[in-house]
């Protein structure tokens, strides 16, 4: 059984980076939502940061390797609890309730906007939540994380629920979706800012330790996108499906990996496919999104060559 414990074990993670802040000027109007002391820290530009020690699993989060164990002969009822059982996951009650509320909000707004095709508990747990749990193990405490092209809030909102020790922001360039995301984080009482802007706009004024993204674009597209922005973040974590190998070949063919260090940080079996075999709808205007289908999911890390040596 997969159990998520939110506490962080002492001594197994990097120390908090030394940082200094300055308020941004012209981009402040892009921020949606309410303010709080922690919320406001997301709006500040990090001017200096020491490298985070990469990729040690938080001691308070159990490895996801045990997911899918003991999943036979379980109740097939389409409920959150039954889906968690089928996928070998178990959460403390407050965490489970927050995740449930998020899924229900997403489905409610899905009636107005095309946010997701994962409209059953089995798909939410087996696809969306599974991807977010993989990312949750790869983020250090006190990191400043941007969910790029957040769309329906995956992975950023579940990540903020699972890892309250991490500062998460959402970027969504489609205004209607950004407004819905802001309403969702408000209803969930999360101190998560939502930016109605493209990622490159934010990186002009802010610095993040990690950018995360799922179902937004091809590996080649991301390799080209990161080139002018390396000074504004340390690494990019991409959630991909089985097509990532094909995308890697395409990126190599175009020479896009020459100055990029590409690593596979996690590989895991995907949950059941959506009825049409596809992943979530991608943010408007983004081509080449990963159509996972059945098979293996991966978390890829892109960083500037030599950054973590």
Buried b (16+ CB within 10 A) or exposed e, 246-278: ebbebbeeeebbeebebeebbebebbebbeeeb
Closest Cα partner for 131 from 299, 309, 305, 294? 299
Known binding residue 167? Answer is no
Q: Cα dist. 233→74, 97, 175, 244 in Å?
A: 44, 32, 24, 22
Six-digit token string for 145: 């994380």
Question: CA 108 to CA 86: how far, in whole Å?
Answer: 24
Per the omega criterion (within 30 degrees of 0), is the bond before 155 cis? yes
Known binding residue 214? Answer is yes
**267, β-bridge pairs:** 298
Known binding residue 200? Answer is yes
Question: CA 294 to CA 292: how far, in whole Å?
Answer: 6
Six-digit token string for 249: 């070949």
Known binding residue 277? Answer is no
Q: Are 124 and 101 in contact (CB under 8 A)?
A: no
Residues 6+ apart with CB under 8 A from 167: 38, 41, 42, 142, 143, 144, 145
**Where is the binding site, in residues?**
149, 199-200, 214
**Where is the binding site for S-adenosyl-L-methionine, in residues?**
149, 199-200, 214
């Amino acid at each position: 059984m997969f159990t998520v414990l939110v506490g962080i074990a002492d001594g197994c993670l990097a120390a908090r980076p030394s940082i200094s802040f300055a308020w941004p000027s012209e981009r402040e109007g892009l921020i949606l939502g309410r303010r709080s002391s922690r919320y406001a820290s997301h709006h500040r530009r990090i001017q200096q940061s020491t490298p985070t020690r990469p990729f040690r699993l938080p001691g308070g989060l159990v490895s996801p390797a045990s997911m899918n164990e003991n999943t036979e002969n379980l109740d097939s009822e389409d409920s959150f609890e039954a889906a968690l059982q089928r996928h070998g996951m178990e959460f403390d009650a407050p965490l489970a309730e927050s995740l449930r509320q998020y899924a229900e909000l997403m489905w409610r707004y899905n009636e107005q906007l095309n946010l997701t095709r994962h409209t059953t508990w089995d798909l939410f747990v087996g696809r969306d939540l599974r991807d977010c749990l993989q990312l949750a193990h790869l983020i250090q405490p006190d990191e400043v994380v941007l969910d790029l092209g957040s769309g329906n809030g995956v992975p950023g909102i579940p990540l903020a629920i699972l890892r309250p020790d991490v500062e998460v922001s959402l970027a969504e360039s489609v205004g209607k979706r950004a407004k819905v995301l802001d309403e969702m984080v408000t209803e969930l009482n999360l101190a998560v800012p939502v930016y109605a802007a493209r990622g490159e706009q934010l990186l002009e004024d802010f610095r993040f330790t990690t950018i995360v993204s799922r179902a937004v674009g091809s590996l080649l597209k991301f390799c080209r996108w990161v080139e002018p922005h390396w000074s504004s973040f340390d690494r990019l974590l991409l959630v991909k499906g089985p097509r990532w190998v094909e995308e890697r070949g395409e990126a190599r063919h175009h020479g896009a990996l020459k100055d990029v260090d590409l690593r596979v940080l996690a590989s895991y079996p995907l949950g059941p496919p959506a009825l049409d075999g596809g992943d979530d709808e991608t943010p408007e205007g983004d081509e080449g999104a990963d159509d996972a289908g059945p098979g293996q999911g991966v978390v890829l890390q892109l960083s500037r060559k030599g950054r973590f040596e």
